[in-house]
Amino acid sequence: MKTIYKIFFAFSILLTIVALAVTVVIWRKSKGEILSADFRGGVLLEVSFADGRPNSIIREREMSETRKQEIIKDLSTQFNSVATQVRFDDVGPTVGQELKSKSVTAMIVLLITIVVYLAIVFRSMKRVLSPWALGIAAVLALLHDLIIPMGVMSLVAYYYGVEITAVFVAAALTILGYSVSDTVVVFDRVRENVIRIGSKESFPSIVHTSIMQTLTRSINTSITTLIALVAIFFFGGESIKYFALALIIGIISGTYSSIFIASPIIMFWHGRKLTK
């Protein structure tokens, strides 16, 4: 196995740990308030001003109609410009809790589905490698791809006052899909090469060859998707800007992880089996 994989694999693990630590620290510092009312329950009021100054966002646990009108009036006098309500969210705590638990359930079911699907698809590789190894490698790469954007988005959320809304669940799941596709494309090539040249070359070197063969495709696909996302980031509305950012990080990470996480894992796995 080439040293480069060892180095990058170690580096990735370090990066994942850092991202996880950042997420935990920010979560504690903000007491979970980087999550929007979608998840926590609570009230959000956004008002715009007649003179075009940036919108104000007010968050409270509860807000009565009278209180809301008072706030709008106060803001109007304070900034000497007529304030109008443009958004008002009032989410009950059960609804928020439900969104959280449903999202987590969806994630877990999805991960299990992916491992099983990959085990079925790659069953023909069982002579060389346990079919579960591929699924597990893909899922570990995936966790890396979810944790890194999570760390970055926590920072962005905390320092730029961006809220983590329900849309980010969609972002996480998209990253998940992309990351798995990327890994699957590499593994598909590995399978093909194992059949063609499996007797001539060592397994790690077959994996390396497969990575090199799929590299152009991986990069081109990432580039086309990134082009689309960068366009959304710069030209899309405020509400999907950070959604696009999370995806940009996740997709770069997804391409990287299929090469430097999923692939080294199956190289290790195979090696372990041989020494037994």
Contact footprint for another protein (CB under 8 A): 38, 46, 48, 65, 84-92, 94-95, 98-99, 102-103, 105-106, 109-110, 113-114, 117, 121, 165-167, 169-171, 173-174, 176-177, 180-181, 184-185, 188-189, 192, 213-214, 216-217, 220-221, 223-225, 227-229, 231-232, 234-240, 243-244, 247
CB of 114 to another protein, least distance (A): 6
CB of 221 to another protein, least distance (A): 4
Closest listed residue to residue 87, CA positions, set 142, 60, 47, 54: 47
Nearer to another protein, 29 or 87 (CB): 87
Amino acid type, 222: S
Nearer to another protein, 37 or 267 (CB): 37
CB of 198 to another protein, least distance (A): 17
DSSP secondary structure of 99-148: HHHHHHHHHHHHHHHHHHHHHHHTGGGTTTS-HHHHHHHHHHHHHHHHHH
Nearer to another protein, 154 or 225 (CB): 225
CB of 219 to another protein, least distance (A): 10
CB of 166 to another protein, least distance (A): 5
CB of 178 to another protein, least distance (A): 8
Q: What is the CA radius of gyration of the chain?
A: 23
